[in-house]
């Protein structure tokens, strides 16, 4: 396996049992599905419901992913917490587990200036030995990493890239342009609708929530692009974009992703946040997944 973190990383769901506790057997099953499709693993992120996991659970999920992958693919773990201190504390535990890198969202709830974000990320990168990705997801945190801020932080030897989940081509291209002359700083695409475009314009990898549902379809965007089949990659993206649009009209991810997996026969349990699906909504999801081979 190359040290370069590239291709598809699945933002893997965190399965729960009927009592709402971690279901590690189901997590291992999902990791196996992803590995069979050629995907690496991103754990503890939005689709992994980090916001409702306690610290011990986050460590357990990460350890399970590392053990199950067994060095045959990349594992990146999200460690972002609301404060610098808490992020460092979690990061020091996670870095001991054998992950290839960690990612850190911006602090949330309190609006921060760019200089404060620089101080936050610099402190974390100084404190950890594991490589770090910035994680830009302003719709969830209320704080946006600006392209110039990413460029400044790219000078830190332990900050190796940024995951952009702002959801727009404008944001993604802004980061790509800002760091285009920095060889050891990568841009990872977050939105499933921009996977193909991201690769065409220079993203090294994508982190996909929809890959939980359609691992082979997502991987085909990357594998066709890598093989030089640009048109085939674009066509694969079109089918994925349609699925994404229709699924997320029913409910927000990760609840919609988990419900789809349940209806495909996988025991991933319910989301820990309050989402109820009507029979009509379930029917819509069933129709969507009927077009996907059970991978």
Residues annotated as part of the active site:
135, 163
DSSP-assigned letters across all residues of the chain: --SS--EEEEE----B-TTSSB-HHHHHHHHHHHHHTT-EEEESSTTTTGGG--HHHHHHHHHHHHHHHTTSS-EEEE---SSHHHHHHHHHHHGGGT-SEEEEEPP-SS---HHHHHHHHHHHHHH-SS-EEEEE-HHHHS----HHHHHHHTTSTTEEEEEE-S--HHHHHHHHHHTTT-TT-EEEE--GGGHHHHHHHT-SEEEESGGGT-HHHHHHHHHHHHTT-HHHHHHHHHHHHHHHHHHHHHS-TTHHHHHHHHHTT------SS-----HHHHHHHHHHHTTS---
Measured distance CA(71)–CA(68) in Å, rounded: 9
CA proximity to 34, closest of 3, 76, 4, 2: 76
φ, ψ for residue 45 (rounded to 5)? Answer: -95, -155
- In the DSSP assignment, the letter for residue 193 is G
145 has binding-site annotation? no
Task: Count Cβ atoms within 10 A of the Cβ of residue 272 and give its class: 0-12 exposed, 13-18 middle, 19 or more buried.
Answer: middle
Can you give the length of the chain in residues? 295
Instruction: Point out the annotated binding site for pyruvate.
Output: 207
Instruction: Point out the annotated binding site.
Output: 207
């Amino acid at each position: 396996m190359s040290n370069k973190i590239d291709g598809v990383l699945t933002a893997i769901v965190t399965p729960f049992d009927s009592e709402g506790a971690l279901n590690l057997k189901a997590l291992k099953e999902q990791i196996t599905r992803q590995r069979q499709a050629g995907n690496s693993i991103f754990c503890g992120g939005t689709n992994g419901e980090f916001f409702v996991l306690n610290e011990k659970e986050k460590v357990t999920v990460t350890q399970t992913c590392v053990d199950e992958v067994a060095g045959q693919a990349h594992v990146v773990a999200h460690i972002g917490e609301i404060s610098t201190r808490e992020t460092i504390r979690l990061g020091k535990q996670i870095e001991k587990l054998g992950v290839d890198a960690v990612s850190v969202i911006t602090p949330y709830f309190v609006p921060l200036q760019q200089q404060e974000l620089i101080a936050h990320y610099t402190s974390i990168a100084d404190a950890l030995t594991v490589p770090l990705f910035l994680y830009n997801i302003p719709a969830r945190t209320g704080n946006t990493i600006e392209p110039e801020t990413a460029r400044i932080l790219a000078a830190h030897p332990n900050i190796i890239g940024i995951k952009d989940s702002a959801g727009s081509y404008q944001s993604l291209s802004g980061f790509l342009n800002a760091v285009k002359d920095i060889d050891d700083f990568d841009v990872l695409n977050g939105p499933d609708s921009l996977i193909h475009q991201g690769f065409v314009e220079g993203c090294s990898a994508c982190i996909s929530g929809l890959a939980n549902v359609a691992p082979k379809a997502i991987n085909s965007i990357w594998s066709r692009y890598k093989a030089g089949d640009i048109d085939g990659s674009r066509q694969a993206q079109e089918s994925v974009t349609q699925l994404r649009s229709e699924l997320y009209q029913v409910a927000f991810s990760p609840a919609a992703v988990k419900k789809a997996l349940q209806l495909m026969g996988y025991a991933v349990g319910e989301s820990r946040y309050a989402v109820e699906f009507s029979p009509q909504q379930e029917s819509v999801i069933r129709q969507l997944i009927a077009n996907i081979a059970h991978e």
